[in-house]
Amino acid sequence: MSDIAVVTGANSGIGRATAIHLAAQGYAVYGTVRSVDKAGKLNAMAADAGVEVALVELDIADDESVAAGFARILDEAGRVDVLVNNAGVGGNAVAEECPTSLYLDVMNVNLCGAVRCIQAVLPGMRERGSGAIVNITSVAGRIAALAQSPYVTSKWAFEGLSEGLAQELAPFGIRVAIIEPGVTKSAIFAKNIDAPNQSGAYDAAYRRLFQFYAAGLASATDPFEVAALIHHAVTTDEPQLHYAVSWGARELIDGRATLSDTDWVALGAHEDDDAYYDDFADKLGLDLRLP
């Protein structure tokens, strides 16, 4: 009998690639989407790959929707062996100008959405003494990306949840893997254009934010590369807790780990963009200037 995998946010990007890739590896895959009617590209790509992804309409931001969606999955499949918490939203804003409601909205999806799904599958995993939970955080869960305060805050919280979860579940034989993508090809970046700079004081922060993504998108990683890493993370005999992947992830994580707090703060103090880009490349190993 095939292992059962659930991939949230399966309608685009990493989620879609992961659902298709796991199905190609022999998993029975359920992909959660907010609207089945908008899943045409997922269905077409799955058909081209010669696989099937069962669609479940589910909104991870809503308790009742998650409960109903997972009740259907468990009724049909009997269990969940692998949960991939991929669904999430972005959130651009500097702290001064970000309404608390936006922090709460982003946190409700990126953190609480994953918690809802985790709580739906853990009783069965504990009873069987096996299973894997893969949490897709972000490189922004390891380094504070500029002018994305609500997004960064949610991803740092998701990292903390995941680290604690790994210890909590170790006695039950349940594996936890944290995937930390940098810039991966995805439709989310085309939608991530908000720059709520009401005061005008943070022009440089937003300009540098969009420059970072412009540089990343020029070399963005294929989401199927991330999908292959997710499959490795749940099947390897030598599991890790953290996996950095995609453009910029390893450079940013390693660079920040070796950077003093003084130098980190000084990076943000540059008034001139060129000086900022030079210092960014020197300290974090990424050239943000477009070719």
Q: What is the pLDDT of residues 113-135, one digit of tens each?
A: 999 999 999 999 999 999 999 99
Give φ, ψ of 110 to 5 degrees.
Answer: -75, -30
Helix (H, G, I), strand (E, B) or coil at 248: coil
Domain boundaries, the chain: 4-284
Say what the pLDDT of residue 186 is. 78
Say what the pLDDT of residue 291 is. 73
Say what the pLDDT of residue 199 is. 84
Say what the pLDDT of residue 188 is. 63
DSSP string, 88-104: -----B-GGG--HHHHH
Distance CA 163, CA 151 (A): 19
Would residue 151 show up in a list of annotated catalytic residues for this protein? yes
Give φ, ψ of 208 to 5 degrees.
Answer: -70, -30
- CA dihedral angle for residue 64, residue 70, residue 73, residue 79, rounded to 10 degrees: -150
Distance CA 142, CA 259 (A): 13
Confidence band for 82, pLDDT divided at 50, 70 and 90 = very high
Distance CA 75, CA 112 (A): 24
Say what the pLDDT of residue 187 is. 65
Say what the pLDDT of residue 196 is. 77
Say what the pLDDT of residue 190 is. 56
Which run of H or E residues covers position 5? strand 4-7
Percent of the chain at pLDDT exceeding 70: 97
Confidence band for 111, pLDDT divided at 50, 70 and 90 = very high
What DSSP state is assigned to residue 148? B
For 4-284, give the CATH class: alpha beta
Say what the pLDDT of residue 198 is. 73
Q: Kindly state the average pLDDT of the residues 217-235.
A: 96
Q: What is the pLDDT of residues 239-291, one digit of tens each?
A: 999 999 999 999 999 999 999 999 999 999 999 999 999 999 999 999 999 87
Q: What integer best gives the mean pLDDT of the chain?
A: 95
Give φ, ψ of 32 to 5 degrees.
Answer: -90, 140
What DSSP state is assigned to residue 201? T
- Options 30, 103, 151, 277, the catalytic residue: 151
Q: What is the pLDDT of residues 166-221, one digit of tens each?
A: 999 999 999 999 999 999 997 665 556 667 777 889 999 999 999 999 999 999 99
Rg of the chain, C-alpha, whole Å: 19
The 3 state secondary structure assigned to 24-81 is HCCCEEEEEECCHHHCHHHHHHHHHCCCCEEEEECCCCCHHHHHHHHHHHHHHHCCCC
Which tokens sit at 18?
A: 């992961």
